Amino acid sequence: MQHRSPQLTPELRDRTFRWIADDVDGDSRTELQNLLARAMAGDDDATSELDDRMSGTLSFGTAGIRGPVRAGPNGMNTAVVVRTTAGLAAWLAQRNPGGTVVVGRDARHGSERFATAAAEVLDAAGFDVKLLPRPLPTPVLAYATVSLGACAGVQITASHNPPADNGYKVFDNTGIQIIPPADSEIEAEIAAAPASVAVPRGRGVQVLDDEVLNGYLDRVATLATSGAKDLRIAVTPLHGVGGAVVVDAFRRAGFTDVHVVDAQAEPDPDFPTVTFPNPEEPGATDLLLQLAENVDADLAVALDPDADRCALGARERNGTWRMLTGDEAGVLLGDRLLARTSVENPLLATTIVSSSLLAEVARARGARHARTLTGFKWLMRAGEGLVFAYEEALGICVNPDFVKDKDGVGAAVFAADVAAEAKSRGLTLLDLLDELMADHGVSVTGQVAPRFADLAERAAVMERVRANPPTTLAGVAVSTEEIRDAGALKISGDQLRVLIRLSGTEPKVKAYLEVTAPPPGPDGLTEARDAALETLRALRDDVAALLSS
């Protein structure tokens, strides 16, 4: 079929002119004017780009908005942030008029001006606005929302998205990310908001000092309770905002032998040493593991750019280093926290895509366990007595009493304490994980997550699997069921499980894989795990073929 060139229609041209006239930011106006001029001169690429920028708006969901930093309604820019905040302010005014709102930011492109614009709109709308003093981790904003008694918190961040992106995340008055129907209600208010140039902006914003940050760090330090401090730590913030904060947190907890990956230590919105600034991505932690080897570390820690996620690395018995999966780290830290908690009838929570092993650990210790939909907005609402929550995508909360969200810094400090205690007994984190699997069952997990440039193609792949589900995977007979609340497919058979869903933050189809085996005891662990890993490899190949476009 012959490819048709995009057309600069009068409607697209006029819509662009109207947006330019109403845009509050001079640089964005110039950016769109130049793009429109190229389109009017017959540049097909410019016309296609202009159509993409003007054909819709960033959708406001429970994770707020995320998108590329660029001019136009379908991008992250000051005009979009101003209108988004006007909608949020209108929604909040119906519930907490005049309340406190805390605004924070990471160090991505545009974050400073977006945070300032959001704070000024909220100030003009009559809220008592507190602006965090500099780029800081998202868990600091979550902590500040609760500690300052705010009715909402706003963090400008795109978390671990590619460098071109930025985003806008909202926490409610409980310090937890919003859930439906708040998202659709706020989106309706955004749609009703005036053009950005007509939105009032105040100048009474209070910029906070370090009191809130110090309060957060002091609380994080209390997570280290074992008394063991002999530990050498290698750490990377992956060019994000967690570097100085996590080093300070380690120091306050008594861990002073800390080594940071120099090339990734300072915030850099271009993330020059990694393809994707996500500790889950292949190659992202290569420099960290090399540093851990070079300094003979006991523990390796990687934070994502806004420091709400934490990945752990440990040395194998053969001397090589590897990163733990999110499930391995989650089960390990959940077990250790459960062993230490003084909460009566404690609750541990994971998501439907995470390992089943934590449920077995909780059951053996007489604790409660819950599985929720994906996302910390659901995990933090799992029930009373919650002491620990994790999701396989490296989100861990060991401190829900003062941060009601995933907290990479808190998880790093607690992991260091667990590792130091294990070292004092001649053990490593991997030894502790072996003990858990020997006693409670083998669980090995993995993921297949193809990335799609075309979102329509991504949706088509999901629909094809839904219409023609497999009958066998990895040589095992399987059945398929729809998990409607999650928009996911669950495919399961004897000792294996696959859950497939569309990612809410990345252009991926995500398939979460798990292979299990009954508790083998210490003597049978190696054989049972090797067999499970072999099945997992076959399962990964079959699922990758299933999701191929």
Task: Give CA 107 to chain center in angstroms.
Answer: 16
Q: What is the pLDDT of residues 450-472, one digit of tens each?
A: 989 888 899 999 999 999 999 99
Q: Encoding tokens for residue 97?
A: 């008029």
pLDDT of residue 485: 87
Query: What residues are annotated to the active site?
Result: 159
CB-CB contact of 307 with 242 (8 Å): yes
**234 vs 457, more confident:** 234
User: Could you say which DSSP state residue 8 is in?
Assistant: -
Give CA–CA dist 446/328, Å, rounded. Answer: 11
How far is residue 210 CA from its own chain's centroid? 25
Q: What is the DSSP string of 48-102?
A: HHHHHHHS-----BTTBEEEEB-SSTTSBSHHHHHHHHHHHHHHHHTTSTT-EEE
Report residue 72: phi and psi, to 5°: 110, 160
pLDDT of amino acid 4: 53
DSSP E strand boundaries for 409-540: 442-448, 472-473, 476-483, 488-493, 496-502, 509-517
- The pLDDT tens digits for 296-312 are 999 999 999 999 999 99
The whole-number pLDDT of residue 63 equals: 81
Kindly report, residue by residue over 31-73, the tens digit of the pLDDT: 999 999 999 999 999 999 999 999 889 999 878 999 999 999 9
Distance CA 124, CA 112 (A): 19
> Is 327 in contact with 445 (CB distance < 8 Å)?
yes
pLDDT band at residue 364 under the 50/70/90 scheme: very high
CA angle at 136 for the pair 58 and 398, rounded to the nearest 5° = 95
In this prediction the pTM is 0.95
CB atoms within 10 A of CB 27: 12
Specify the DSSP class assigned to residue 43.
Answer: -
Residue 77 CA to residue 56 CA, distance in Å, equals: 14
Which residues have a Cβ under 8 Å from the Cβ of 194 and sit 6 or more positions away?
83, 86
Q: If you average pLDDT over residues 442-449, what whole number do you get?
A: 95
pLDDT of res. 549: 62
100 with 130: CB under 8 angstroms? yes
Nearest to 493 by CA among 465, 515, 518, 469: 515
Structural domains present in the chain: 11-209 (3.40.120.10), 230-440 (3.40.120.10), 442-546 (3.30.310)
> How is residue 277 written in tokens?
């600034």
Contact 318, 326 (CB under 8 A): no
Question: Which one-letter DSSP state was computed for residue 375?
Answer: S
**Is residue 2 very low, low, confident or very high in pLDDT (cuts 50, 70, 90)?**
very low
Residue 236, phi then psi, degrees to nearest 5:
-135, 135
Residue 212 phi, psi dihedral angles, 5° rounding: -65, -45
What span, in angstroms and rounded, lies between the C-alpha atoms of 232 and 107?
28
pLDDT for the residue numbered 481: 95
pLDDT value at residue 353: 94
Helix, strand, or coil (residue 310): strand
Q: pLDDT tens-digit profile of 479-521? A: 999 998 888 999 999 999 999 999 877 789 999 999 999 999 9
The per-residue pLDDT for 5 is 60
Residue 114 has pLDDT above 90, yes or no: yes
Q: Would you state the structure tokens that stand for residue 238, as one six-digit string?
A: 């992956």
pLDDT one-digit tens code per residue, 170-201: 999 999 999 999 999 999 999 999 999 999 99
Give the per-residue pLDDT at 363.
Answer: 96
For residues 352 and 483, the answer to whether their CB atoms sit within 8 Å is yes
Which residue has tokens 């110039």? 30
Q: What are the beta bridge partners of residue 255?
A: none
Q: What is the mean pLDDT of residues 374-395?
A: 96
